[in-house]
Amino acid sequence: MIACAKKIFFLLFISCSSLAQTPQQYFGEKYKTALSFVKTYKNLFVKYLGKENSPKAIAIIFPEILRYNTLSNEAELQLLKSLYIRFGKKYADFSIGYFQMKPSFIETLENILGKSVMDTPENREKRLLKMMDVEGQILYLKDYWKIMHSKYPDIHKENNASQVRFLASAYNYGFLASETKILNWSKEKAFPSGKNSSVRFSYADIAEDFYLKEIPKIFR
């Protein structure tokens, strides 16, 4: 009985210790790599989003940079790219690049901003090439930023951390969702591996943590 109790206590201790991990501790070297990426492309973010907006914009996509896996199945990725170019997003709608953007997300941005083009294999290939380019993804992030500030014109009245949490959650969950659903998602601890994993954060938690702890050092 005592042995059983000790075992239960040990398992609870391990579980609680895991849940108490910070993003920096949990992601380890991946966190350092993601920080290095941000520092490398900092000036490019500033070029397109401005010095005032860049810190918040970077925080929005920082969790995706953490999750980005350069060792993904290249054969599978090539197949998905080929399917998208030939047949469109109904056949292949997949996350790609450091910001893990999907073709459907980009096409929605284009439609809202009046930038949509004929749905041809040639135009889908051009879109995909831009999505795989860091500068191209920053431009798409700028489009997202523009749309969200048009949709929520009073968002600037919130403090910066709250802005980051909301915009990051909308980016991760789906920015066409209702404000209520986006706010609810900001509390859901399902990142990076789903609700059933032992160690998890909300996407908004990581974005806010990065904004508060790392951005002041990067933009000092």
Three-state secondary structure of the chain: CHHHHHHHHHHHHHHHHHHCCCHHHHHCHHHHHHHHHHHHHHHHHHHHHHHHHHHHHHHHHHHHHHHCCCCCCHHHHHHHHHHHHHHCCCCCCCCECCCCECHHHHHHHHHHCCCCCCCCHHHHHHHHHHHCCHHHHHHHHHHHHHHHHHHCCCHHHCCHHHHHHHHHHHHHHCCCCCHHHHHHHCCCCCECCCCCCCCCECHHHHHHHHHHHCHHHHCC
Per-residue confidence (pLDDT) for residue 197, from 0 to 100: 72
Per-residue confidence (pLDDT) for residue 72, from 0 to 100: 64
Per-residue pLDDT of the chain (220 residues; tens, 9 = 90+): 555 554 444 444 444 444 578 999 999 999 999 999 999 999 999 999 999 999 999 999 999 999 986 556 788 889 999 999 999 999 999 999 999 999 999 999 999 999 999 999 999 999 999 999 999 999 999 999 999 999 999 999 999 999 999 999 999 999 999 999 999 999 999 998 877 777 689 999 999 999 999 999 999 9
Per-residue confidence (pLDDT) for residue 12, from 0 to 100: 46
**Every domain of the chain and the residues it spans:** 31-218
